[in-house]
Amino acid sequence: MLDMADRGIVGPSVSLVNRRNIAMLRLNQTRFKAIVEGDLMMWSRQLSNRLMTTDRVVSMANAAIDTVVSLVNMTPADDCASVGVTSIGEYGVPQGLTFGLPILADGEGSWSVKEGFALDDFANERIKITTDELLSERDEVRSLGLI
């Protein structure tokens, strides 16, 4: 029986197989690159966004719980809690604007805005910037006819 190598067939067959393997490797590299650069990156971004959204939801839930705890427990005299409330003009915030203000709670369900904080120029500027942003947002919502 003749060996295929003796007939000169192994050489071309191996060469053909090698060319196919190389072509398949190149095709697989191209597919792999497309997966990494496309689908995998998109999946990674989506996962990251979901995790950030979950973190935000947990953070908001914790903030809501902390606010309720601050409002139902008596605030020590030397302390306060920051709570978003509708202003009646405290600290230069326009009346009717919902704003984070220092709150004292009596532990029986009532609260009041803690007055008397001395504000420096930096604090006044930050309050002005936030007030302007909130007024702008309110005006935008009002222009949509939603309020």
Q: How many CA atoms lie within 13 A of 65 on its CB side?
A: 6
State the total domains in the chain: 2
pTM above 0.75, yes or no: no
Indicate whether 59 and 86 sit together in one domain: no
Residues 64 and 99 in one domain: no
In terms of domains, do 36 and 92 share one?
no
CB 72 within 8 A of CB 83: no
User: 15-32: per-residue pLDDT in tens?
Assistant: 444 555 565 666 666 666
What are the backbone angles phi and psi of residue 84, rounded to the nearest 5°?
-75, 115
Phi, psi (rounded to 5 degrees) for 127 = -65, -40
Domain check: are 50 and 90 in the same one?
no
Residue of 141, 123, 144 lying closest to 133 (CA atoms): 141
- The model's pLDDT over 20-67, given as tens digits with 9 standing for 90+, comes to 556 566 666 666 666 666 666 677 777 777 777 788 888 888 888 998
